[in-house]
Structure 1
Amino acid sequence: MTVTLQTSSRNSHSSFSALPQVRNAIRLGGEWVHGEGKLYTVTNPATGELVQEINQASAEQAKQAIDLAYTAWRESEWRTCYPHDRALVLHQIAGLIDDNLERLAWIQTLNTGKTLKETRALVGSAAKTFRYYAAAVETQEGTLTTQRGPWQTQTTFEPLGVVAAITPWNSPIASDAQKIAPALAAGNAVVVKPAEWTPLISMALMELVTQSDLPDGLVTILPGKGSVIGDVITSHPKVSKIAFTGGTSTGRRIAHEAAERLIPTTLELGGKSPTVVLEDANLEQALQGVLYGIFSSSGQSCIAGSRLFVHQSLYREFVEELVRRTTALNIGPGTDPDTDVGPLVHTRHRDSVAAYVERARAEGGTVLCGGRVPADPALAAGSYYEPTIIEGLTNSSLTAQEEIFGPVLVCIPFADEEDLVEQANDTVFGLAAGIWTPNFFRAQRLAERIDAGTVWINTYKQFSISTPFTGFGDSGLGLDKGRAGLAEYSKRKSLYWGTSEEPMSWGKHG
């Protein structure tokens, strides 16, 4: 079967004439089986049209999947094979992703509304993530620790078992890869629950994984509701780690579940990230960086720079130009190469964003641009919302404190560095921040004082798989990416080798 893309006049030049449908099945052990859960209709956020219907997994199938994953992990040689053999398989998966880049990008665009430029980059990033962890595990070393007695000591890495991974809807294939790749590299099995709204790209990735030499059953994708599948996999006794990316309230529940069972968890949660424009900033560089930081991905990013702090000496000039550039952004479907801001992922999410903007008005905020659904009739069927800039609110307002997860920016002037740091840190979140200044010493000082796991200086929203990513406060626990991210999917064991032939001196025979 195929899906024929419905293209408007705006994107008729962009086509993928016959996009193969994602296999409507789940992989249990070594077999494709029909999902026994609810039938879910996946729609295109840009048009509201049907993309594909998916049979979600049932709770019983989720339990079965974990049991089968545990059996596969115990009985295959994956957990005990040499790291370089695991690396070969990870390279295979990376190659399969690259070979299917265009198809995967279109699937993700149709399912999430993101622009093809972004989804192509995300698919490429997923392939690079598998390659990075192939290299990381092949070169991972245990440690011979300092000798402090008649024994030689060393530490080694061992796999945990079955990892439950719960991934978000905003960047699904990249998030999938950032959990699956290090988990497999460390020798584990992985059961993945993608977001209910965006299951297609994860299911397509599963098809590719089965074409590699990875033993059957070590990766399973379970589409379905969090209240059905998520609850099963986070509470199952054979799950040895939970890795979650999503909202803070859900993350708290998962952290509680993991604490009850005394298993490790990695939580990448929400953010309300400050972007700081100092009085000596390169204004062109800062303007473009602020625009990209909040309005790329239609603002649907945990690290979006959603709180803008501008020095009062240039606040009015900067914000007026920012508004001018924001109103010039092209809103449209992700399949149109001229689109800057695509639709939000779902009409329910768009309505949530709109409700936040109405509350901002009620709090006394002034909407400088946006703040509404586009009037263009060609966009009426999609879940679009105009890029929005708001001023006149204090940092203590609910609009400035709560994560909106949409194209909404709150602008706040600041007087001096102390005022800035106090406001920037007045939040429960601590995920990311941006600083715009050519002054190295000032940037370094502010980067150290702002409570955020990632700080960008004269750039924004750039990532490296080799660099750990973490959040403070309500933004999460543990970390992803980097060699440290590989260690998060392993357990450390210490070995003591006695180097003396003399018996231990203890008791009446000592």
Structure 2
Amino acid sequence: GQKHLKRVVAEMGGKNAIIVDESADLDQAVQGVVQSAFGYSGQKCSACSRVIVLDPIYDSFLRRLVEATRSLNLGPADQPSTKVGPVIDADARNRIGEYIEKGRLECDVALELPAPDSGYFVGPVIFRDVPPTATIAQEEIFGPVLAVMRAQSFADAIDLANGTHYALTGGLYSRTPSHIEQAQAEFEVGNLYINRGITGAIVARQPFGGFKLSGVGSKAGGPDYLLQFLEPRVVTENIQRQGFAPIEGAD
């Protein structure tokens, strides 16, 4: 019986990728990928779940990524030393575990950190040489699971990054101006971060939101966000008067 259509503003998910090319500062790139992938146990819609690395630096980057991730402490979220806390509940832990098992069938594990027996913990997992059609390269997991993919060229890296149904956040680590320009033009994401982590958008400075299956509506934190909840009206008056109507009771 409703007489109006519901307005929908939705942010629905992502399969966010960071590209690392051969000119990248690997110290910066490793730190940014680890923080983006495993901060908040990977439970951010903007979290990195794929890292696409150019072939000349693939092995070097992977070794450093594994060692940096190995240093992360798992534990209660209220402990200052904790870098990876629990996931939200038992259902999330079990669902992430199922994705990890699917990943084992499709590619090799580069690192899997043990998790405490009690609580809803999932240790960070890194898969290497992940094919673009793999389940863990296509479906949102929302947990500390990272797929490392190899690209033969920068154009190939862009194609791999765009090869999902999502377009929320993405990142690039590069010191090559032409690659930065190409990513700005061709990387299909709502928020692109260059030479920094891909989480932690700041209201009014980085309005947040994507397209494809990642969402619909104006970006959160942007200048036009509240306007989309209003009903626009147009009033048009012809101000060229054709005489005046008398006012009753006037002298």
- TM-score, length basis structure 1: 0.45
Which residue does 1:267 correspond to in 2? 10
Residue in structure 1 matching 2:54, options 311, 314, 320: 311
Change in 2 beyond 3 A, CA 1:441/1:462: farther
> What displacement does 1:292 show?
0.7
The one-letter code matched in structure 2 to 1:501 is: R
Deviation at 1:263, TM superposition (A): 2.1
Please give the residue correspondences for 1:276-291 in structure 2 after superposition, counting only pairs within 5 Å. Answer: 276-291=19-34
Q: What is aligned with 1:475? A: 214
Is residue 292 of structure 1 aligned with residue 28 of structure 2?
no
What amino acid does structure 2 have at the position aligned with 1:458? Answer: N
Return the letter of the residue paired with 1:502: Q
Runs of 4+ in 1 over 6 A off after TM superposition: none
Query: Separation in 2 of the partners of 1:309 and 1:278?
Result: 8
The reply on whether 1:334 has 2:56 as its aligned counterpart is: no
Q: For residues 464 and 444 of structure 1, what CA distance do their matches in structure 2 show?
A: 23
In structure 1, the residue matched to 2:246 is none
Q: 2:200 aligns with which of 446, 455, 462?
A: 462
Report the Cα distance in structure 2 between the residues aligned to 1:389 and 1:268, rounded to whole angstroms. Answer: 26
Bigger relative CO (Cα 8 Å, ≥ 6 apart): 2
Matched, 1:487 2:240: no
Aligned residue pairs: how many? Answer: 240
Q: Deviations along 1:153-185, whole A, 9 cap, x unmatched?
A: xxxxxxxxxxxxxxxxxxxxxxxxxxxxxxxxx
SS at match of 1:287: helix
State the SS of the aligned residue for 2:137. Answer: helix
Contact kept, 8 Å, 1:468 with 1:485, in 2: the verdict is: no
Structure 2 CA distance for partners of 1:496 and 1:459, relative to 1, 3 Å: same
TM-score (norm 2): 0.90
Aligned partner letter, 2:109: V
Letter in 2 for 1:475: S
Q: How many Å apart are 1:501 and its aligned residue?
A: 1.4
Give per-residue Cα distances to partners, 1:307-345, cap 9 Å, x unaligned. 100110000000111000101101000110110000011
Whether the aligned pair in 1 keeps the contact of 2:53 and 2:157 (CA below 8 Å) is no
Matches within 5 A, 1:154-165: none
Q: Percent identity between the aligned chains?
A: 31
Find the partner of 1:370 among 112, 122, 134. Answer: 112
Partners of 1:291 and 1:326 within 8 A in 2: yes
Q: CA RMSD in A?
A: 1.7
Q: 2:238 aligns with which of 498, 503, 506?
A: 498
SS of 1:310's equivalent? strand
Q: Is 1:438–2:175 an aligned residue pair?
A: yes
Q: Distance in 2 between matches of 1:495 and 1:441?
A: 49
Which residue identity lines up with residue 102 of structure 2 in the other structure? Answer: R
- Secondary structure class of the residue paired with 1:496: coil
CA distance in 1, matches of 2:35, 2:129: 22
Partners of 1:459 and 1:486 lie apart in 2 by 29
Taking the aligned partners of 2:71 and 2:159, their CA distance within structure 1 comes to: 33
Say which of 100, 104, 112 aligns to 1:361.
104
Task: Give the whole-Å Cα distance in 2 for the aligned partners of 1:428 and 1:275.
Answer: 16
Partner of 2:249: none
Question: 1:169 maps to which residue?
Answer: none
The answer for the alignment partner of 1:405 in structure 2 is: 142
- Deviation of 1:468 (Å): 2.6
- Give the unaligned 5+ runs of structure 1: 1-235, 239-260, 504-510
Deviation of the 1:406 alpha carbon:
0.3
| Aligned with residue 447 of structure 1, among 152, 174, 184 | 184
**Uncovered stretches (5+) of structure 2, i.e. residues with no partner:** 244-251
Deviations 1:449-480 (A, max 9, x none): 01111100111213121143221111111122
* Conserved 8 A contact 1:310-1:411: yes
Higher helix share: 1
Offset of 1:237 from its aligned partner? Answer: 4.6
> Residues 468 and 484 of structure 1 are in contact (CA less than 8 Å); yes or no, is this contact kept in structure 2?
no
